[in-house]
Amino acid sequence: MSDASDADIHEWISFEDDDELRTWEFDATFLRSNYQCIWGCGCQGVLDEPAEELQQGCCSYGAHFVDEDDVQTVVRAFVRTSPEHMQFHAKATKGGFLRAGDGPGDDENGPPTTTRVVDGACIFLNRPGFEGGAGCALHIAAEASGERPIDWKPNVCWQLPIRVDHFTDEQGHVLSRLREWKRRDWGDGGADFAWWCTEAPEAFSGSRPLYLTARDEIVELVGEGVYDRLVELLERPDWVPLPHPVARRS
């Protein structure tokens, strides 16, 4: 049996939302951690070998869309994205930027629609050395327009490494659980990653806790009222929170 200090132990916060017949559960350990995305600053990517020099982050595969609204968000964003902000703009204009499947969603009903992969990564990923800046072209174009990147990008791209699961019981009551994104959430391929950020001590190096740095993303997922209630509970003065497992091991 592994020592408890090495186990993946998390504390959770739960409360009811009677207006929506919903129970909210939050991974308090992850949200209070100092996790930050370290794309371009030590991120080794999600290939089967470390590839920090590629600066692909989790963009090596086409982004999966959750529904048709998600697809249309990117369609509208692309129309507003100029070649100066997107390295593969010409390829996207000529050959499209989507890889069509049987529809958005998971693979149960056939291959889902994803963003197109070009030269080994998402077509929207500008590679190192591109004059308009390396990284997500949609993110860069949104910031250049003075808008939020989360309003331009596929859902999965702005949510990672946060995930929300919804479960409905026989009485119609919904359990909504916000937690950290695990390897398993990538499907079978997640086990083959040489590296995954929520398991890496170097990613827990932010100056502020995640629930503050990811405020916009969390509010987008749960609503402002639920977020405010969450913050009240996370900031209880008499609570001594359990450090994140990665922080305990490092």
Residues 135 and 147 in one domain: yes
Residues 110 and 181 in one domain: no
Number of other residues whose CB lies within 10 A of the CB of residue 10: 16
So what's the pLDDT on residue 56? 97
**DSSP state, 186?**
G
So what's the pLDDT on residue 18? 78
Cα–Cα distances in angstroms (integers) from residue 123 to residues 12, 29, 87, 90, in the given order: 37, 35, 8, 11
Q: What total of structural domains would you count in the chain?
A: 2
> Whole domain around residue 35: which residue ranges?
21-57+160-250
Closest CA to 127 of 49, 65, 59: 59
Residue pair 109/103 in contact (Cβ under 8 Å)? The answer is yes
Backbone angles phi, psi at 14, to 5 degrees: -135, 140
Residues 82 and 204 in one domain: no
So what's the pLDDT on residue 186? 93
So what's the pLDDT on residue 107? 54
Residues 164 and 140 in one domain: no
Given a cut of 60, is residue 4 above it in pLDDT? no
pLDDT tens figures, 216-244: 999 999 999 999 999 999 999 999 889 99
* 3-state SS class at 109: helix
pLDDT tens figures, 19-40: 888 999 999 999 999 999 999 9
Please state, in angstroms and rounded to a whole number, the distance separating the CA atoms of residues 79 and 239.
Answer: 48
CA atoms within 13 A on the CB side of 23: 10
